[in-house]
Amino acid sequence: MKSAFRRSGAESLSRNLKETIQSALSSRKNVVMVRLNQDSLRQIDDLVEAGVASNRSEASAFLIVEGIKAKTELFGCVSEKIDTIRAARQELHDLLNEPTSQGEG
């Protein structure tokens, strides 16, 4: 059975998936609590049951990293807009905190 598993390429896929997960998990320092629907939880549990991830936290972190990679273009656009918003806020802040001349008023 193991030889059939190896021939099917499933072993290689599993190894690649585990390497990808380890890369995604390498620098996890932040905790996020999230509520999921039943379908999402089932998919996460499937990754754990298949041995691809050790626990729900690892499976969730992997899926988040992969989702961000899949939407790189979207996140690039969002980042540009956020930079524009921050610059506008700073400009307003500077304008409001500008010293007024004594003759005005």
Using a pLDDT cut of 90, give the percent of the chain over it: 58
pTM of the full structure? 0.61
| Residue-level pLDDT at 4 | 52
pLDDT at 9: 67
pLDDT tens profile 67-104: 999 999 999 999 999 999 999 999 999 999 988 766 55
Q: Model confidence at 7, in pLDDT bands (50, 70, 90)?
A: low
- DSSP code string of 1-65: -HHHHHHTTHHHHHHHHHHHHHHHHTT----------HHHHHHHHHHHHTTSSSSHHHHHHHHHH
Q: In which residue are the tokens 């656009």 written?
A: 77
30 backbone dihedrals φ, ψ, rounded to 5°: -105, 145
Residue 102 gets which letter from DSSP?
A: T
